[in-house]
């Protein structure tokens, strides 16, 4: 599967835009729409120059499509577009390694309509073991999208 426009908008809405590099809540240099590296796989640094919204969105789409490809390979259950978009949004935020070893993926692959999947989304709301209100809001929204 691939992300559709709703999937791109879901992620960019929560990531927000920054023309300049900044440290995200996990203390990782980030730019654009939550990108921690560029399309050429070069890591973002705090010394990097500003980018435009157009540059950021093109970079984001390239990177988000890579995440979508990984999620598509990891998920073995048939998903609808909303379910896929929600899972890619989660993976984009937590990383594909964390997603690959997550209970949410195990539950999705066992039964993609299992209602306890909503609870699994909500477990990914912490940075350095501290709950982050913005992540809690995002996980609730992703779970709602998944089940819509």
Active site residues: 15
**In degrees rounded to 5, what are phi and psi of residue 111?**
-160, 100
Q: Where are the beta strands (DSSP E) in 25-64?
A: 29-32
Q: In the chain, helix, strand, coil percent, each to 5?
A: 55, 10, 35
Distance separating alpha carbons of residues 55 and 42, to the nearest angstrom: 15
């Amino acid at each position: 599967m691939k992300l559709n426009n709703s999937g791109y908008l879901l992620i960019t809405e929560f990531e927000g835009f920054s023309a300049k590099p900044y440290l995200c809540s996990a203390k990782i240099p980030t730019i654009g729409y939550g990108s921690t590296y560029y399309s050429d796989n070069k890591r973002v640094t705090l010394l990097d120059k500003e980018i435009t919204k157009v540059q950021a969105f093109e970079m984001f789409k390239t990177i988000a499509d890579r995440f979508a490809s990984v999620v598509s390979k990891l998920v073995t259950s048939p998903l609808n577009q909303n379910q896929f978009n929600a899972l890619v949004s989660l993976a984009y935020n937590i990383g594909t390694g964390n997603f690959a070893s997550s209970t949410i993926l195990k539950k999705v692959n066992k039964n993609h309509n299992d209602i306890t999947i909503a609870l699994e989304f909500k477990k990914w709301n912490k940075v350095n073991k501290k709950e982050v209100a913005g992540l809690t809001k995002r996980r609730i929204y992703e779970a709602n999208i998944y089940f819509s």
